[in-house]
A and B are shown apart, each in its own frame.
Chain A
Amino acid sequence: MRSAVSMTVNGKKVSGEVDHRRLLVDFLREDLRLTGTHVGCDTSQCGACTVLYNGKSLKACTIFAVQAEGAEIVTIEGVANGDHFHPVQQAFHEYHALQCGFCTPGMVISVIDLLNRIPNPTEEEVRWNLEGNLCRCTGYHNIVEAALAAAKTLQR
């Protein structure tokens, strides 16, 4: 069964007709060709598909596209300001917070979500809030460093 759906993605109104089974992440990737949002596990564990949904982080593999009617969604493609990195992206770059980069879009969105809620987090708070994002390369150390550095930049 199919239905029409429309939502705002990275500030742009988009619409489409989707199978009711279509997951939001597949709508973003396949229909809108916004392939920055990744599918790591497809079982709500890894967090590579994390997007902001009405301002809050959510795993786009665990919500149907048709549910997102009227929602405001921000993906990794929507966080930079033109050619300038978002401060969280810049911090990931400077602190070498990625190796293969597969988890990075989800990590960046989760850190943005964290800093929206807790502008000046402790290391423990950063680690606790990144529980839903798995990284197989870095051991998390530099990701945490980058999050703490980005917090300082954003506070300025």
Chain B
Amino acid sequence: MYEYEYRRASSLDEAVALLTVEESRPLAGGMSLIPAMKHRLARPTRLVDLNAVPGLAFIERKGGCLEIGAMTRHETVALSDVVRRSIPALVKLAGGIGDVQVRHRGTIGGSIANNDPGACYPSGVLALGAMVETTRRTIEADAFFTGMFETALEPGEIITKVSFPVPDAASYIKFHNLASRFSIVGVFLARFGRRVRVAVTGAAPCVFRATELEKRLSDDFSPDVLRDAAVPADNLVSDLHGSAAYRAHLIPVLTRRAVEECLVSGS
């Protein structure tokens, strides 16, 4: 690991001030950043630890929205009654990340800021059309995830909370890598009235919306409309866990299961 300077922020203002040094980075749960530093894939000059900053870990239902503070741990979301009553699919998503030790430490803000191609949270944020609030602005989910490990965040910008519109029904189905529990393909489906959004993680370099499947499901929310649906494999990932064609096959299959789950548990 390369040398770096550790600084513990005790307020959001202090964190913002500490992050003005070039190549400095915020440290949330550290579940991806610390391994990346060990592998010398990340070389920050300074880490600004957000773990002691008050007010960043909370879960709150506000009207039609579920708000989750950026430093809220996966385990907290997985055990939250408020989340279970509002968007149970997020309980399932958070409870299936990594393993319990990782869920005790990892955070929603860290997960979406890192935007790992196989991470679970980006699909939930994108499918639900969430708003990502930062120290500078509010970013819509559709504009937030920009590429592999890339987001719309600027240097020094810190996520403070994610605000999820509460859908009529939602489901997350993950076909996971048995060793890492990252998605080989993960599908998050959300239905708001007749409008359906489907976000796919694990399959491509960056989470994306399966718009063709969304169109079919918005016309008729039933698993049968996906029977002959095919997703092109062109821009999908091939690696030791599965070929692009295999991933393309999984997307409508998992989406169908998500629809079935919504029909059983919802409405």
**B contact set with A: CB distance below 8 Å:** 1, 3-6, 8, 27, 30-31, 34-35, 38, 47, 49, 51, 75, 98-102, 104-105, 179-181
**A contact set with B: CB distance below 8 Å:** 1, 3, 20-21, 42-45, 47, 50, 53, 56-59, 62-64, 66-67, 69, 110, 113-114, 129, 131-133
A93 and B7 alpha carbons, distance in the complex (Å): 43
User: 5 A-B residue contacts at CB 8 Å?
Assistant: A21-B3, A47-B99, A57-B100, A64-B30, A132-B100
Measured between beta carbons, the chain B residues less than 8 angstroms from A69 are: 8
B105 touches A58 (CB 8 A): yes
A126 and B242 alpha carbons, distance in the complex (Å): 30
Measured between beta carbons, the chain B residues less than 8 angstroms from A53 are: 104
In the complex, the chain B residue whose C-beta lies closest to that of A44 is B35
A63 touches B35 (CB 8 A): no
A136 and B34 alpha carbons, distance in the complex (Å): 25
A131 touches B6 (CB 8 A): no
A44 touches B6 (CB 8 A): no
A129 touches B100 (CB 8 A): yes
A132 touches B102 (CB 8 A): yes
In the complex, the chain A residue whose C-beta lies closest to that of B98 is A132
Other than the known A20-B5, A62-B30, A133-B99, what 11 A-B pairs have Cβ atoms closer than 8 Å? A20-B3, A20-B47, A21-B4, A44-B31, A44-B35, A56-B75, A57-B101, A62-B34, A67-B8, A131-B99, A132-B98
Measured between beta carbons, the chain A residues less than 8 angstroms from B31 are: 44, 62
Measured between beta carbons, the chain A residues less than 8 angstroms from B35 are: 43-44, 62
Measured between beta carbons, the chain B residues less than 8 angstroms from A63 are: 30, 34, 105
> Taking A20-B4, A131-B99 as contacts, is the C-beta distance between A57 and B104 under 8 angstroms?
yes
A43 and B100 alpha carbons, distance in the complex (Å): 15
B100 touches A113 (CB 8 A): yes
> Taking A131-B99, A132-B98, A132-B99 as contacts, is the C-beta distance between A66 and B105 under 8 angstroms?
no
